[in-house]
């Protein structure tokens, strides 16, 4: 059915959110938020390309149970070296790439006064440099093949705030919001949406240390309006939305999924 502006409405609203037949590359897919995103995409019909340093057996089983085709790519994303291989293996297996989730990330906690150059570089390389060059390779593949693309960058509350004893992480995640806007400006006209998700405080390996520190844990919970840590499941809705046709006119924006943390 045509609307007043000659666009057509979906007959079934659920189709807007379907990822049937799309191929999604998710980095850091073996655990935590990356695993949750893979499972959500698998349930919505996507082929999964799981990129990780370690075995993705658990993620593979969960995705295959949901009926998805699954390709595991072992890669260390602390350098740009594996990027071309990741894109070419994904295309060789599934024909094209449609979705990229830049989820892999590391955090190093230390007083700013004691941070070494090595620690600084290791965080910036994974969280920022490789995110840019993997996005660039993905965008080239979409443009060459003339297919639409969706890039989703995993940001953080520390894209907006300073945090405590994590200066390189804060710098890298703040950069992610700027990069999301910058890439939108260049690639939106080529059919590529570049958006971000800023998770709040989520119960994963990334936050084990602060959850085990009773006073930090209490202070964090006290400040979250919803009064609980987030889970990988909490991120799935936003991740599906930004990968699907439902978000075709959303571009350059980072959505917080934080139980209200930023509202305080
Ligand atoms: P996690 O530690 O469980 O997952 C991080 C993933 O990144 C793992 O799969 C890990 O293997 C992968 N990774 C790290 N370095 C890598 C490398 N060199 N090569 C390949 N893979 C590498 O933690 P998580 O919470 O699931 O983190 C996922 C993303 O979410 C990260 O970018 C993190 O910064 C971000 N984030 C997490 C929270 C939180 O509260 N947990 C909040 C905001 C943002």
* pLDDT exceeds 80 at position 32: yes
Instruction: Check pocket membership of 135 for ligand 1, CB cut-off 6 A.
Output: no
Least confident of 30-34, 115-119, 189-193, 206-210: 206-210
Q: Which domain holds residue 161?
A: 15-256
Structural domain includes residue 245: yes
Instruction: Check pocket membership of 103 for ligand 1, CB cut-off 6 A.
Output: yes
Structural domain includes residue 194: yes
Q: Summarize pLDDT for 160-203 with one digit per residue, the tens.
A: 999 999 999 999 999 999 999 999 999 999 999 999 999 999 99
Percent of the chain clearing pLDDT 70 (strictly above): 98
* pLDDT exceeds 90 at position 49: yes
Structural domain includes residue 81: yes
pLDDT of residue 4: 64
pTM value? 0.97
The residue contributing the CA closest to ligand 1 atom 44 is 156
Instruction: Check pocket membership of 36 for ligand 1, CB cut-off 6 A.
Output: no
pLDDT of residue 1: 53
Tell me, what CATH number does 249's domain have?
3.40.50.720
Instruction: Check pocket membership of 254 for ligand 1, CB cut-off 6 A.
Output: no
Cα(31) to ligand 1 centroid in Å equals 8
Mean pLDDT over 72-78 rounds to 98
Average confidence score pLDDT of the chain: 96
Q: Summarize pLDDT for 218-233 with one digit per residue, the tens.
A: 999 999 999 999 999 9
Q: Summarize pLDDT for 240-254 with one digit per residue, the tens.
A: 999 999 999 999 999
Q: Summarize pLDDT for 78-134 with one digit per residue, the tens.
A: 999 999 999 999 999 999 999 999 999 999 999 999 999 999 999 999 999 999 999
Least confident of 6-10, 72-76, 215-219: 6-10
pLDDT of residue 118: 98
The residue contributing the CA closest to ligand 1 atom 31 is 105
Domain count, the chain: 1
* pLDDT exceeds 70 at position 16: yes
pLDDT of residue 3: 58
First to last CA, the chain: 43
């Amino acid at each position: 059915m045509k609307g007043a502006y000659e666009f057509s409405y979906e007959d079934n609203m659920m189709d807007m959110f379907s990822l049937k037949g799309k191929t999604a590359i998710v980095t850091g897919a073996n655990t935590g938020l990356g695993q949750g995103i893979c499972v959500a995409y698998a349930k919505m019909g996507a082929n999964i390309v799981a990129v990780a340093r370690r075995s993705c057996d658990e993620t593979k089983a969960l995705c295959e149970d949901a009926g998805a085709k699954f390709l595991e790519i072992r890669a260390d994303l602390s350098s740009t070296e594996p990027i071309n291989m990741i894109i070419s293996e994904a295309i060789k297996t599934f024909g094209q790439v449609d979705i990229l989730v830049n989820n892999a990330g590391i955090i190093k906690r230390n007083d700013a006064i004691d941070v070494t150059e090595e620690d600084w570089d290791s965080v910036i390389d994974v969280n920022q440099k490789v995110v840019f060059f993997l996005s660039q390779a993905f965008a080239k593949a979409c443009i060459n093949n003339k297919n639409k693309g969706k890039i989703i960058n995993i940001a953080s509350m520390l894209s907006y705030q300073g945090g405590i004893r994590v200066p390189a992480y804060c710098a890298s995640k703040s950069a992610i919001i700027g990069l999301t806007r910058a890439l939108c400006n260049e690639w939106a006209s080529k059919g590529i949406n570049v958006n971000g998700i800023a998770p709040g405080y989520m119960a994963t390996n990334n936050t084990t240390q602060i959850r085990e520190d009773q006073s930090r844990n209490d202070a964090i919970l006290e400040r979250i309006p919803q009064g609980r840590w987030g889970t990988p499941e909490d991120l799935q809705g936003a991740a599906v939305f930004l990968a699907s046709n439902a978000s075709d006119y959303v571009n350059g924006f980072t959505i917080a999924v934080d139980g209200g943390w930023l509202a305080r």
